[in-house]
Chains A and B, each alone.
Chain A
Amino acid sequence: MRKAFSAIAIAAMVSFIAAGCASGGASSGGDSQGKPAAAGAAGQQPKAETPKEKGKFVFWDKAEYVAAYNDDMKAYVEKWGQSNNVDVTYVIVSPNDLKTKLLAAIEAKNPPDLIVGDDFLLKQFIAMNALVPLDDVVNGADLVPGAKNYTVTGGKYFLAPEAFLMGGAYLRKDVWDKHNLPVPKTWDELYQQAKVVNDPKNGFYAVGFPLGASGGGDAEGMLRDLILSFGGSIVDKDNNITVNSPEVLAALKFAAQFWQQGLTPASSTTWDDTGNNNAYLAGTVGFVLNSGSIYSAAQKDKPELAKNTLLIPKLAGPKGRVVLGSGNAFAVLAGGKGTDGAKKFVSAFLGDKPHYTQLVAKLGGTWQPVLNGAQDDPFWKDPNNASAGWLDQINNVVGAGNYPGPEDALGAKSKSMQLVTKTVQRIVVEKMDPQKSLDQLEKDLKQLYGK
């Protein structure tokens, strides 16, 4: 009995394995859905009989803080796909996950064809030879000059601009008025006023500055702006490390005061890019630096807060104010199957000015337009549009995150690694001596830049 059972079991097992192998062999010419492989299909069916091969591309789009954007883009790209005989797969990816997912997809040799993300994030993929040049797309579009300044890398275009995310400062006018304080124009004015309005015992902090190092861009962007406004810089125009200077040290010490004196919530040392948005919308902070996303969210969900909010330009430091550009950009991935379709779509998107203009307006001030003429839309002329005051900045963009150094992959990586944020974190959280922390930053930068 036992012998018979063993024999049956062994036979069944061998059959199972054999069946598995057979099925693998049978399906090896097709994909997981059982469709025939392209080569096989092409071999069996003459090309002439195929009416026209349907193209396809996969589009990973950044999840915008204003959901109306993703709804609009999905409908737009699908409609474009139908008109151009292209199957489009539209996927919304959280900006905090975008880099991780893209790295994994590239390593698995299965990247999307088209992607929208923050310029500093996408620039890191240029050094990996992961992006297709888009010079023809960019040069064929009617762009404002500043848009080219934030997407150019080493004189070439691997990114095509989608929209500026310039932003500025949000101020709780009602709180400032209560203390009879003027609107701050400089960092120092803000610091002095912050000490007056700060009221943590009642759950209200003067400012909401992010200092988390989880991969976002808000904290690093703010600190780099501050350093430039103090007359310092991370690198010079030839990418020599110039960070260890009295100006940068002064800027770091100045920034650290906001945490050391409890003028910003302590938890902001772990905030990601949504932290300051949430805190401002919750009414727990009086001043933040951000793109227009807070304004559009407040208008929709917190009209009273929107009414009490003043949108002002970024603050000046002892050496004035430098306007750096940043924004969303398109990138087409090399090695994808739908590269041509993706490029055609980007050209079509940037060529459709009426749609673009209404899309920018739909975002309620979160974006500033990259296309010439879009800023003439009534949306930007509306006296009730508080975000219109930020529009001028797009005409003064001198560069992006690595300014005054060249916009290259190293600069983008240095920004993405949040090395300046970590420097201030060490001063604030570990109570490290500022000069020692700056020395560490210089060491990290030299290692990264190979100096």
Chain B
Amino acid sequence: MRAEALGRKYDRALAYTLILPVAFVIFIVIGIPFVQALYLSLTNKTVGVEPAFIGLKNYVTILSDPDYWKVLRNTFVYMIACVAVKLVLGMILAVVLNEKFPLRGLFRGIFLIPWGLSGMVTAMTWRWIYDDTYGILNSLFMRWGLIDTPIPWISGIHIALVSCILVDVWRGIPFFMFSLLGGLQTIDRQMYEAATIDGAGWTRQFFGITVPSVMPVIAITALLSCIWTFNDFENIFLVTGGGPVHASAVISVYTYEVAFLQNAMGKSLAVAGSVIPILVVMIIVATRRLNTDA
């Protein structure tokens, strides 16, 4: 009994010893800049000038700025739409690729390509595809007689964000597909055979067996994707630049604009800091989910 308690004590000591250097590094490279950023969000910091403490003025300013609310709304629309569409399409593809058919391996490889491409290459390519003067999308639609005049994919106030969502979905589906495929492969085939004998159809089997079995994978994949999509910068910045008139701008792009085009570092850090509570909640939920699954 005593030896067991002693063993636990050593285990704990070993664990803390191993964690300590990592925690130290994290504190240096993340903790200190994070605290400093929070402090600077309470100042009038601009580049090259010493900051002066102004309390919550930056937060009050951004909360009364209609652009901030527009951008925050865009961020949620972008995150929810991207994750929902990627989840649905990723699940469909995962189910299809879980079946046995000729050249299945080849298709799995092909579907992985968008995920493997550099974000910059993807965004620039899509910007070219969307262009209303020499882009291939409008050219094809016009040739097929579907439209008379080009669709302003990246400049239409109601469509620019949708265009960015499509790019993110195109690029992100493989992550969902392969995560869910991994989950599907762990489901015991006998469950489906038993369900078939009991007379359950495909739909019943899908919602009664498949979805509950991969629910932990769905939850963690969706949560991680929510965090990544919420912070996405390059896709929107490179496809539309957040324009026109912030129609497709999200928090990260707006933060960049305030920081570097307006040179208002304190205000930009307040913009970034204002969404920390939302991210913290998502991270806590994701971490709990991971711990539960473990």
A interface, CB within 8 angstroms of B? 2-3, 5-6, 9-10, 13, 16-17, 99-100, 103, 106-107, 124-125, 128-130, 200-201, 203, 205, 211-215, 262, 265-270, 272, 279, 282, 284-285, 413, 416-418, 422, 425-426, 428-430
Partner of B149, one of A103, A201, A267: A201
Which segment of B109-117, B173-181, B255-263, B286-294 sits at the interface?
Answer: B255-263
Given that A13-B20, A265-B132 are contacting pairs, would A107 and B47 also be in contact in the complex, using a CB cutoff of 8 Å?
yes
Interfacial chain A residues near B42, Cβ < 8 Å: none
Interface centre among A5, A265, A416, A428 (most CB of B within 10 A): A265
Is the CB–CB distance between B47 and A103 below 8 Å?
yes
A-B pairs, top 5 by smallest CB distance, nearest first, are A128-B48, A266-B152, A284-B133, A269-B244, A214-B241
Say whether B273 faces chain A, with CB atoms less than 8 Å apart. Answer: no
Closest-CB distance, A437 to chain B (whole angstroms): 10
Which segment of B75-83, B153-161, B191-199 sits at the interface?
Answer: B153-161
Given that A103-B260, A130-B48 are contacting pairs, would A425 and B245 also be in contact in the complex, using a CB cutoff of 8 Å?
yes
Measured between alpha carbons, how far is A130 from B243 in the docked complex, in Å?
31
Closest-CB distance, A19 to chain B (whole angstroms): 12
- Chain B residue with Cβ nearest A426: B245
- Chain A residue with Cβ nearest B156: A266
**Which residues of B from 118 to 156 have beta carbons under 8 Å from A?**
130-134, 139, 142, 148-150, 152-156
Interface centre among B7, B21, B261 (most CB of A within 10 A): B261
Is the CB–CB distance between B149 and A270 below 8 Å?
no
Partner of A10, one of B13, B160, B243, B247: B13
Is the CB–CB distance between B263 and A124 below 8 Å?
yes
Closest-CB distance, B67 to chain A (whole angstroms): 10
Closest-CB distance, A333 to chain B (whole angstroms): 10
**Which residues of B from 242 to 273 have beta carbons under 8 Å from A?**
243-245, 247, 259-263, 265
Partner of A279, one of B46, B133, B157: B133
Interfacial chain B residues near A10, Cβ < 8 Å: 13-14, 17
Q: List 20 A-B contacts (CB under 8 A).
A: A5-B14, A124-B263, A128-B47, A128-B49, A200-B149, A201-B148, A203-B134, A212-B244, A213-B241, A213-B244, A214-B241, A215-B260, A267-B132, A268-B155, A270-B241, A270-B244, A279-B133, A285-B133, A422-B245, A429-B245
Interface centre among A6, A17, A211 (most CB of B within 10 A): A6
Say whether B18 faces chain A, with CB atoms less than 8 Å apart. Answer: yes
Is the CB–CB distance between B155 and A203 below 8 Å?
no
Closest-CB distance, A395 to chain B (whole angstroms): 34
Say whether B240 faces chain A, with CB atoms less than 8 Å apart. Answer: yes
Is the CB–CB distance between A267 and B261 below 8 Å?
no
Interface centre among A107, A282, A413 (most CB of B within 10 A): A107
Measured between alpha carbons, how far is A120 from B58 in the docked complex, in Å?
27
Given that A9-B14, A9-B18, A106-B47 are contacting pairs, would A270 and B243 also be in contact in the complex, using a CB cutoff of 8 Å?
yes
Closest-CB distance, B12 to chain A (whole angstroms): 10
Partner of A430, one of B7, B154, B157, B261: B157
Measured between alpha carbons, how far is A103 from B257 in the docked complex, in Å?
13
Partner of B131, one of A124, A201, A215, A267: A267
1/0 contact string of B3-29 vs chain A (CB within 8 Å): 000010010011001101100000000
Measured between alpha carbons, how far is A268 from B156 in the docked complex, in Å?
11
Number of interface residues of B (CB under 8 A): 41
Measured between alpha carbons, how far is A418 from B132 in the docked complex, in Å?
24
Interfacial chain B residues near A430, Cβ < 8 Å: 157, 245
Is the CB–CB distance between B244 and A3 below 8 Å?
no
Measured between alpha carbons, how far is A212 from B21 in the docked complex, in Å?
47
Interfacial chain A residues near B241, Cβ < 8 Å: 212-214, 270, 272
Measured between alpha carbons, how far is A304 from B4 in the docked complex, in Å?
87
Measured between alpha carbons, how far is A418 from B261 in the docked complex, in Å?
9
Measured between alpha carbons, how far is A129 from B46 in the docked complex, in Å?
12
1/0 contact string of B153-191 vs chain A (CB within 8 Å): 111110010000000000000000000000000000000
- Chain B residue with Cβ nearest A3: B10
Closest-CB distance, B14 to chain A (whole angstroms): 5
Given contacts A106-B48, A214-B243, A282-B133, 7 further A-B contacts (CB under 8 A): A100-B260, A103-B259, A200-B149, A203-B133, A211-B244, A270-B155, A282-B134
Interfacial chain B residues near A6, Cβ < 8 Å: 10, 13-14
Interfacial chain B residues near A2, Cβ < 8 Å: 7, 10
Measured between alpha carbons, how far is A197 from B142 in the docked complex, in Å?
20
Interfacial chain B residues near A268, Cβ < 8 Å: 155
1/0 contact string of B217-236 vs chain A (CB within 8 Å): 00000000000000000000
Measured between alpha carbons, how far is A416 from B241 in the docked complex, in Å?
16
Measured between alpha carbons, how far is A18 from B180 in the docked complex, in Å?
45
Interface centre among A13, A265, A267 (most CB of B within 10 A): A267
Is the CB–CB distance between B157 and A270 below 8 Å?
no
Given that A267-B131, A430-B157 are contacting pairs, would A416 and B261 also be in contact in the complex, using a CB cutoff of 8 Å?
yes
Is the CB–CB distance between B149 and A262 below 8 Å?
yes
Measured between alpha carbons, how far is A336 from B10 in the docked complex, in Å?
53
Measured between alpha carbons, how far is A269 from B20 in the docked complex, in Å?
52
Interfacial chain B residues near A284, Cβ < 8 Å: 133-134
Partner of B133, one of A267, A272, A425, A428: A267
Closest-CB distance, B147 to chain A (whole angstroms): 10
Is the CB–CB distance between B21 and A266 below 8 Å?
no
- Chain B residue with Cβ nearest A107: B47
Is the CB–CB distance between B149 and A417 below 8 Å?
no
Closest-CB distance, B104 to chain A (whole angstroms): 40
Closest-CB distance, B10 to chain A (whole angstroms): 5
- Chain A residue with Cβ nearest B6: A3
Is the CB–CB distance between A13 and B21 below 8 Å?
yes
Given that A10-B13, A16-B21, A266-B156 are contacting pairs, would A429 and B247 also be in contact in the complex, using a CB cutoff of 8 Å?
yes
Interfacial chain A residues near B47, Cβ < 8 Å: 103, 106-107, 128
Measured between alpha carbons, how far is A201 from B49 in the docked complex, in Å?
53
Closest-CB distance, A410 to chain B (whole angstroms): 12
Measured between alpha carbons, how far is A426 from B149 in the docked complex, in Å?
23
Is the CB–CB distance between B132 and A266 below 8 Å?
yes
1/0 contact string of B275-291 vs chain A (CB within 8 Å): 00000000000000000
Measured between alpha carbons, how far is A272 from B241 in the docked complex, in Å?
9
Closest-CB distance, B268 to chain A (whole angstroms): 11
Interfacial chain B residues near A125, Cβ < 8 Å: 48
- Chain B residue with Cβ nearest A259: B155
- Chain B residue with Cβ nearest A5: B14
